[in-house]
Amino acid sequence: MTPVLRLLARRLGISLIVLIGVSMLVFGIARVIPGDPARIALGPNASTEQIAKLRASLHLDESIFVQYGHFIKDLSRGDLGISLYTNRPVTTDIAQFLPATLELVLVAGVLMIAIGLPLGIWSARFRGRFADHIIRLVSLLGVSAPSFVWAVILMLLFAYYLPLFPIAGRITDTYTIESITGFLLIDTLIAGNFQAFLNAAWHIVLPAFALALSGIGQAARLTRANMIETWDKPYIEMAQAYGYAPARIANRFAFKPSMIPSLTIIGLDFAAMLGNAFLVEAVFAWPGLSRYGVAVILRKDLNAIIGTVLIISAAFLIVNLIIDLLIAFLNPRIRYSQRDVK
């Protein structure tokens, strides 16, 4: 087995154990939250018989261990149960709402990398100068305020005072796009409707930028610190002695080693966006999974709560797995450390 495959197998095993632990933890917490899910779902006018029937169908009248056994049995068949909030299968709800959140998070992640890393490199190159001070100030502001604060500020500035961007939804209602992938930016291109693509892109700018601002600041600050540390290495001094241009030294010799510690934090920030997106989605009325998750928590919809948390946890683990593989690709010492010891 190659070192990369060994690393992949090891990380997959750890991720599976973590996912099982998350399911047990969330299942237990969801069961001890005050309130009767059956009564909440049926309303105050439901009869005792109706509530008892619904409780029996949800196995709520059995012990928590038996309930978890039913859950694992259904999960093995790909069945997450029926949502008491929408009266639909939870898998159907996830399939509807997850693409919107993934699209928002992916665009925010692209903005975080495309803006944060160059800012960090630029700040490191001109450390102590005016540009460095401005970038550090902007980065600190991005990290200090949470995403929903930036969402409100951006909405006020660029949707109310300067009506440049729409304030709600994923696309204008006048466009009818067939859902193929669930990602509007892709579906509009598949449909060949460039005007709808521009409209969808215009809708996603503000929520994605609000979600990415904290990560942009974090990426810029961390990249700057790592670049400055790398800049003092002997091989950088040798490159300077050979007369390489500062821009070439920064991009070719200093950037790659600096990315190894930065990737870990960037990956964690990217994965955290899945859970943190609910406030941004609430501000911009974005029909995503995070907003759906908050709604089902307020109604104590047990099946939907567990399904939403498991999907977000799985996405978090997948992102971390990808980051581990990228770091192993950038750092040969990690790859070779996975070799069989003979």
Domains of the chain: 3-76 (no CATH), 91-298 (1.10.3720.10)
Neighbours of 224 (CB within 10 A): 25
How many helices (H) and strands (E) in the chain? Answer: 15, 0
Q: What pTM value is reported for the model?
A: 0.83
- Per-residue pLDDT of 205-260, as tens digits, reads 999 999 999 889 888 888 888 888 877 777 777 877 877 777 777 767 777 777 77
Higher pLDDT, 272 or 284: 284
DSSP 82: B
Taking CA atoms, 329 is separated from 3, 10, 232, 252, 270, in Å, by: 11, 16, 24, 17, 19
**pLDDT beyond 90 at 43:** no
Distance CA 121, CA 129 (A): 14
Distance CA 269, CA 218 (A): 8
pLDDT attached to residue 1: 58
Distance CA 315, CA 288 (A): 15
Look-up of token digits 């490199």: 121
pLDDT attached to residue 334: 58
Look-up of token digits 């990415």: 212
- Per-residue pLDDT of 80-132, as tens digits, reads 888 888 888 999 999 999 999 999 999 999 999 899 888 888 888 888 888 88
**pLDDT beyond 70 at 287:** yes
How many residues can be counted in the chain?
A: 342
Look-up of token digits 């996603």: 204
Distance CA 131, CA 122 (A): 8
